[in-house]
């Protein structure tokens, strides 16, 4: 295997044993990028970014291993544009906290940023100002979104590992579509300082990796209290690698009946059922449970998330940074800049969110949505008082074709149905590969646990992974 | 038709914490533009707010000083609107759960002290500064993010004078708390007014006019006065009144309509998801309460009780925190329990000196111990009151001691009756007509005779004693 | 609920986004469909439910009143589309 095809933990071993050099790792990555990027397009602004110095840091935890960063995480000295025209040229004068933490651990920040749906608005990476990323398993299919670039890069070995962000499934769904591991940590577990906000009460940064061990390592590094983030929890971070025990005997798993209904692809259904059987064979106990407010999750999400987004994106107005349209006066500048700088999906969401907060509609929409959110959280609390975790499909289907859902925004929104409730409840969830459709597209299994119980996720996911072969398969690119 | 005036005032106060409300930028006026900012107060993408503990403490102090009820669960909300001095195009403020409500401030009114209600005091952040040029506007974000308190009064004020008194009373208390510079000229205290007129006796409020752009307490009083006459004229001419915002033009002495095309603003308030809820528990409130300095009203009561001052006199002293301290230091140093003498000096000659020099009492260049000594000379009748006043002026100007100045001016009075008798006898001998006039009941004659004795003694005789002696001698 | 073009125009103004006539048409239709779907939540009985405006059980997050080093004006203005000296510059404001 080439160096770029290995997991981070294996490369780390080789680096520490002086079997390979950091230069060789980068060389392998760049060679792979040169070869397949024209087809995959996982990265953006290739050739326009400055080349960052290679720091070897042999005595550090991560020994200089590069991490690929999604384009909505601020990196000092490296453009961070959320793949939107309105932020073109923005070079942050500061690092996101997760970036500082990575640097402190000795990681390298990969100089190319990963493609994404503009401002994380999307489930396919088709809303990027730079054009869509292709799924490495099938170039005519989407990689998922909004962290499609990160997931595709990891799946295609154009990255060793990556960071994405997840507001309604944007790490887990692309991980599922690309056959890799993706974790959304508990809300408050990882600092949001430096993550360009979509929905402040839902966003979290998380790892996208080739196996669960890498996810455990990366999560351990980026997690932790940040005094610059008022919504960051002051709780110590456990050593997640200790959760990789390899056994799950007696664990109680809930299977929510509301998740196995109409609209679910039959192939996906049978693959998931097989995966659940595997878990049973490994010693877990499964039982049906009910999350009765599941059907309200998508509507609630699209009220709360767009309301918060409409306010978070108000700052993009051409005054201090980014794109500014030609205009004769201030109001014209605002209106033209935002009309020309935002893509269609961004405009749709901003308008929807503005509407939900507007005078006369606040009670009927925003306030009601906040109440239903309470009910959704309570559904999970009830189940977790009896069960160790919940297992579901990550997505009702495998990857769809590029262009298939772009004409119908509502159809696109509904594909988030299994991931969204997790963000609303603020709990952690992981997606791991668990099979392939006949067309050769990956299917992901989602495991959810109660708040701050990432250890449960790593334990179950790792055990499943080590007893299957899915994580070893690579696309034929 | 007689109309009555209804006024409410909205004050924005900059807190003088070391750093801004939501980031750790130092607050430092006079910096070059945009050199006191950071990604947070600039509202750069990805940044998050964390509230300043000292600002919260100051805010609670202010709320307690005005007797407000502190909201146990309070939170921040986003007030969304677009303007170039607003980095995020929303202001972090408070909407439905403000820090405190239902306070009050007493002002002196014609008959009795009047209670002016304070609707709410809440937390928010300041915006940047805009400079308008011909073809562009320039923005400086140094001011953006400075912690503000918004203090909203009930519409309980009935006249421009009451509004003025409310503001001076407010400022006095805020100075006592030492939470803000309260300087309208520098912008650390800003005030907008709401005014409406209604026919006397009617309960419903009239159409409200908002007044902005006043830069001093006097300006507010003048603007309100102008508005009353403008609106009265309109009402009497049966002209339709509509809700509007008007700007005060101090140079022209008139208000001008802002004529904004926008209808009622929709700020789309919602709880700020980047900040937590704040739970203000009793122990915290009690601790801050215990730490409050003595406020004007308490000091007033104490001065009248402890030092037997009249309410009138006490109020003059209490009117400024530093003046009150200066006065109290003098009073405490003054020997004996009867403080009337030193108080009279503070309220009389010292205040006159301060006013003349256009400074505050405590800013006088005067050594308190020397002042006490000077008063002692007068009390012992060693110099006349008139002489002492002149000495005071010289003490402030020259920094020389009372003793030195008295000696230099040769001001020691002669109170020795023995010595005075001689002069008196001489004067009586020389002024037979006046003596007869006095005996005939003309009191002026006595004054004349005393004057003659003063002349003979080159002004050093103690006039009171001379007067007594002559009266007795001639009766 | 039905959302008509006038409302969308008003919302677009609040959000400071200029919509071309054909865009207005298209977006109004899309928003109408989305809102129709969202209206699902109007059927729930939410009287006794508290709104979850904050999902984390934390409160009173504050920081000490200690100063940090601010950005230089140069850094603050580095990304500015238009500047004059140490100021950000914007087109004239017409009331």
Question: β-pairing, C62-63 with B51-52?
Answer: parallel
Residue A365 gets which letter from DSSP? I
In a domain, C64, yes or no: no
State which residues form the domain around C22: 5-42
Whether C9 is in a domain gets the answer yes
The whole-angstrom separation of Cα B127 and Cα B144 is: 4
Nearest CA in chain C to B259: C95
Clarify whether residues B238 and B137 are in a common domain. yes
| B352 and B394 housed in the same domain | yes
State the Cα–Cα distance between residues B460 and B412, nearest whole angstrom: 6
Q: Are residues B35 and B128 in the same domain?
A: yes
Range 176-235 of A in CB contact (< 8 A) with B: 192-197, 199-201, 227-231
Residue B380 and residue B433 in one domain: no
Residues A106-165 pLDDT 10s = 999 999 999 999 999 999 999 999 999 999 999 999 999 999 999 999 999 999 999 999
Last residue of a domain, one of B252, B287, B322: B287
For residues A21 and A245, give the distance between their C-alpha atoms in angstroms, rounded to a whole number.
31
Q: For residue A198, what is the nearest residue in chain B, using CA coordinates?
A: B46
CB-CB under 8 Å, A324 with C75: no
Kindly determine whether residue C16 and residue A331, on different chains, have CB atoms separated by under 8 Å: yes
Chain-chain contact of C58 with A188 (C-beta, under 8 angstroms): yes
Tell me which CATH code domain A3-258+264-291+377-472 carries: 3.90.1300.10
**Chain A contact for C28, CB < 8 A?**
no
Q: From CA C64, how far away is CA B17, in angstroms rounded?
A: 11
Dihedral pair phi/psi, residue A445, rounded to 5°: -105, 130
- C13 lies in some domain: yes
Number of domains in chain B: 3
pTM across the whole model: 0.90
Is A431 an annotated catalytic residue?
no
Q: What is the CATH number of the domain that holds B433?
A: 1.10.10.410
Chain C residue numbers touching A347 (CB-CB < 8 A): 17, 19, 23, 27
- Chain A within 8 Å of B344 (Cβ-Cβ)? no
pLDDT at position C1 over 70 = no
**B:C CB pairs within 8 Å:** 124
Residue C71 lies in a domain: no
Using a CB-CB cut-off of 8 Å, the residues of chain C touching B52 are 62-63, 65
Long-range contacts of B430-437, Cβ-Cβ distance < 8 Å, separation of 24 or more? B435/B474
Does some domain include residue C35? Answer: yes
Please say whether the beta carbons of A296 and C41 come within 8 A. yes
Identify whether A70 is a catalytic site residue.
Answer: yes
Asked if the Cβ–Cβ distance from C52 to A355 is below 8 Å, we say no
Chain B, residues 248-267, CB within 8 A of chain A, namely 266
Full DSSP string of B133-188: -SSEEEEE-TTTT-EEEEEEE-S-B-SHHHHHHHHHHHHHHHHHHTS----TTTTS
Cβ-Cβ contacts under 8 Å, C85 against chain B: 33
Q: Is residue C89 part of a domain?
A: no
Q: Which one of B408, B426, B460 terminates a domain?
A: B408
Residue C94: count of CB within 10 angstroms of its CB: 10
Burial of B458 (0-12, 13-18, 19+ CB in 10 A): exposed
- Among residues B362, B380, B408, the one where a domain terminates is B408
Among A228, C70, A317, C62, residue whose Cα is nearest residue B142: C70
Distance of CA B264 to the CA centre of its chain: 35
Query: Residues B262, B320: one domain?
Result: no
Q: What is the dihedral of CA B61, B63, B64, B69, to 10 degrees?
A: -140
Distances in whole angstroms, Cα of residue A22 to Cα of each of A1, A43, A67, A107, B147: 16, 21, 13, 11, 49
CATH number of the structural domain spanning residue C19: 1.10.20.60
Q: Which residue of C has its CA nearest to A410?
A: C34
Q: Which of A41, A70, A113, A210 is catalytic?
A: A70
3-state secondary structure of B130: strand
Chain A hits for B45, Cβ within 8 Å: 74, 80, 82, 87, 90, 92, 196-197, 315-316, 321
The three-point CA angle A31-A32-A34 to 5° equals 65
Each residue's pLDDT expressed in tens, for chain B with a length of 475 residues: 789 999 999 999 999 999 999 999 999 988 999 999 999 999 999 999 999 999 999 999 999 999 999 999 999 999 999 999 999 999 999 999 999 999 999 998 777 889 999 999 999 999 999 999 988 999 999 999 999 999 999 999 999 999 999 999 999 999 999 999 999 999 999 999 999 999 998 889 989 999 999 999 999 999 999 999 999 999 989 888 888 999 999 999 999 998 765 667 899 999 999 999 999 999 999 999 999 999 888 898 898 888 878 888 888 888 888 889 999 999 999 998 888 889 889 989 999 999 999 998 899 989 999 999 999 988 888 888 888 999 999 999 998 898 888 888 877 777 777 778 888 888 888 888 888 888 888 888 888 888 888 888 777 777 888 888 888 888 7
| B85 & B145 share domain | yes
Contact A298/A190 with Cβ under 8 angstroms? no
Measured between CA atoms, how close is B129 to chain A, in angstroms?
14
When CB atoms are compared, the residue of B48, B90, B268 closest to A193 is B48
| Contact between chains at A94 and B275 (C-beta distance less than 8 A) | no
Q: Does any CB of chain A come closer than 8 Å to the CB of residue B48?
A: yes
Interface of B with C in 169-228 (CB under 8 A): none
**With an 8 Å Cβ cutoff, are C62 and B134 in contact?**
no
Q: Which of A84, A123, A146, A191 is catalytic?
A: A146
Count of C-beta atoms within a 10 Å radius of residue B416: 11
B42 touches chain C (CB under 8 A): yes
Domain limits at B159? 3-287
Taking only the tens place, the pLDDT of each residue in A272-330 is: 999 999 999 999 999 999 999 999 999 999 999 999 999 999 999 999 999 999 999 99
């Amino acid at each position: 295997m080439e160096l770029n095809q290995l997991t981070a933990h294996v490369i780390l071993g080789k680096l520490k044993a002086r079997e390979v050099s950091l230069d060789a790792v980068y060389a392998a990555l760049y060679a792979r990028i040169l070869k397949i990027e024209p087809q995959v397009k996982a990265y953006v602004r290739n050739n326009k970014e400055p080349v960052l110095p290679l720091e070897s840091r042999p005595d550090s935890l991560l020994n200089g291993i590069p991490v690929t960063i999604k384009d909505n995480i601020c990196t000092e000295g490296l453009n961070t544009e959320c793949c939107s025209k309105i932020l073109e040229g923005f070079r942050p004068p500061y690092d996101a906290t997760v970036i500082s933490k990575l640097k402190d651990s000795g990681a390298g920040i990969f100089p190319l940023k990963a493609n994404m749906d503009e401002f994380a608005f999307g489930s396919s990476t088709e809303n990027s100002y730079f054009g869509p990323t292709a799924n490495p398993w099938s170039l005519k299919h989407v990689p998922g979104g909004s962290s499609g670039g990160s997931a595709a890069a990891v799946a295609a070995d154009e990255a060793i590992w990556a960071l994405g962000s997840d507001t309604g499934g944007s790490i887990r769904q692309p991980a599922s579509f690309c056959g890799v591991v993706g974790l959304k940590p508990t809300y408050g577990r990882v600092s949001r300082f430096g993550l360009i906000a979509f929905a402040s009460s839902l966003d979290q940064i998380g790892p996208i990796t080739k196996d669960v061990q890498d996810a455990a390592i990366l999560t351990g590094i980026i997690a932790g209290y940040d005094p610059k983030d008022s919504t960051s929890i002051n709780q110590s971070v456990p050593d997640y690698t200790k959760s990789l025990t390899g056994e799950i005997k007696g664990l109680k798993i809930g299977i929510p009946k509301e998740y196995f209904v109409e609209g679910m692809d039959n192939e996906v259904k049978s693959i998931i059922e097989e995966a659940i059987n595997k878990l049973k064979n490994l010693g877990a106990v499964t039982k049906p449970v009910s999350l009765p407010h599941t059907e309200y999750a998508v509507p609630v999400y699209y009220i709360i998330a767009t309301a918060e987004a409409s306010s978070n994106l108000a700052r993009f107005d051409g005054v201090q940074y980014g794109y500014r349209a030609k205009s004769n006066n201030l109001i014209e500048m605002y209106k033209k800049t935002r009309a020309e700088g935002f893509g269609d999906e961004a405009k749709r969401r901003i308008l929807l969110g503005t509407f939900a907060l507007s005078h006369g509609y606040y009670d009927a929409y925003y306030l009601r949505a906040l109440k239903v959110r309470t009910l959704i959280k309570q559904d999970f609390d009830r189940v977790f008082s009896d069960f160790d975790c919940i297992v579901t499909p990550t997505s009702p289907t495998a990857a769809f074709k590029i262009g298939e859902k772009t004409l119908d925004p509502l159809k696109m929104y509904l594909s988030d149905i299994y991931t969204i409730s997790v963000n609303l409840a603020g709990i952690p969830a992981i997606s791991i590969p668990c099979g392939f459709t006949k067309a050769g597209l990956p299917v992901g299994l989602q495991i959810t646990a109660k708040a701050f119980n990432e250890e449960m996720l790593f334990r179950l996911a790792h055990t499943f992974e080590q007893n299957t072969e899915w994580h070893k398969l690579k696309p034929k690119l | 038709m007689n109309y009555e005036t209804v006024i409410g005032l909205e004050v924005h106060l900059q807190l003088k914490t070391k750093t801004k409300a939501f980031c750790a930028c130092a607050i430092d006026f006079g910096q070059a533009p945009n050199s006191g900012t950071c990604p947070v107060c600039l509202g750069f993408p990805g940044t998050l707010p964390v509230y300043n503990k000292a600002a919260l403490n100051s805010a609670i102090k202010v709320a307690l000083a005005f007797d407000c009820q502190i909201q146990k669960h309070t939170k921040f909300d986003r007030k969304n609107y677009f303007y170039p001095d607003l980095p995020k195009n929303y202001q972090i403020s408070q909407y439905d759960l403000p820090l405190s409500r239902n306070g009050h401030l007493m002002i002196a009114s014609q008959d009795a002290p009047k209670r002016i209600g304070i609707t709410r005091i809440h937390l928010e952040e300041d915006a940047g500064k805009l400079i308008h040029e011909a073809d562009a506007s320039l923005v400086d974000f140094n001011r953006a993010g400075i912690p503000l308190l918004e203090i909203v009064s009930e519409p309980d004020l009935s006249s421009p004078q009451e509004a003025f008194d409310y503001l001076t009373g407010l400022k006095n208390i805020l100075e006592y708390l030492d939470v803000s510079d309260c300087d309208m000229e520098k912008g650390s205290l800003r005030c907008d007014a709401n005014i409406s007129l209604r026919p006397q006796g009617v309960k419903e409020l009239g159409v409200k006019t908002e007044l902005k752009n006043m830069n001093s307490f006097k300006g507010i009083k003048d603007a309100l006065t102008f508005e009353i006459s403008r609106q009265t004229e309109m009402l009497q001419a049966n002209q339709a009144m509509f809700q509007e915002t008007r700007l005060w033009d101090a140079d022209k002495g008139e208000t001008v309509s802002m004529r904004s095309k926008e209808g009622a603003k929709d700020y789309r308030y919602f709880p700020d998801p980047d900040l937590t809820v704040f739970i203000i528990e009793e122990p915290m409130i009690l601790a801050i309460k215990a730490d409050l300095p003595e406020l004007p009203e308490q000091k007033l009561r104490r001065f009248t009780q402890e030092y037997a001052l009249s309410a009138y006199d006490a109020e003059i002293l209490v009117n400024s925190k530093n003046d009150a301290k200066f006065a109290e230091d003098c009073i405490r140093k003054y020997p004996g329990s009867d403080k009337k003498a030193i108080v009279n000096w503070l309220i009389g000659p010292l205040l006159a000196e301060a006013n003349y020099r256009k400074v505050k009492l405590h800013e006088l260049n005067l050594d308190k111990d020397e002042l006490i000594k000077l008063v002692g000379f007068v009390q012992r009748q060693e110099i006349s009151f008139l002489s002492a006043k002149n000495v005071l002026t010289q003490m402030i100007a020259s920094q020389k001691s009372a003793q030195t100045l008295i000696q230099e001016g040769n001001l020691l009075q002669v109170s020795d009756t023995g010595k005075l008798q001689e002069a008196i006898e001489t004067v009586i001998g020389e002024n037979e007509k006046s003596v007869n006039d006095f005996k005939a009941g003309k009191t002026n004659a006595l004054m004349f005779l005393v004057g003659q004795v003063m002349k003979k003694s080159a002004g050093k005789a103690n006039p009171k004693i001379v007067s007594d002696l002559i009266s007795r001698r001639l009766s | 609920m039905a959302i008509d073009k006038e409302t969308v125009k008003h919302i677009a103004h609040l959000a400071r986004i200029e919509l071309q006539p054909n865009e207005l048409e298209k977006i109004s239709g899309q928003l109408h469909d989305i809102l129709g779907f969202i209206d699902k939540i109007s059927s729930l009985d939410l009287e006794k439910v508290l709104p979850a405006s904050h999902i984390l059980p934390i409160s009173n997050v504050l920081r000490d009143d200690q100063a940090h080093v601010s950005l230089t004006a140069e850094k603050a203005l580095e990304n500015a589309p238009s500047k004059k000296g140490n100021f950000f510059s914007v087109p004239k404001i017409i009331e």
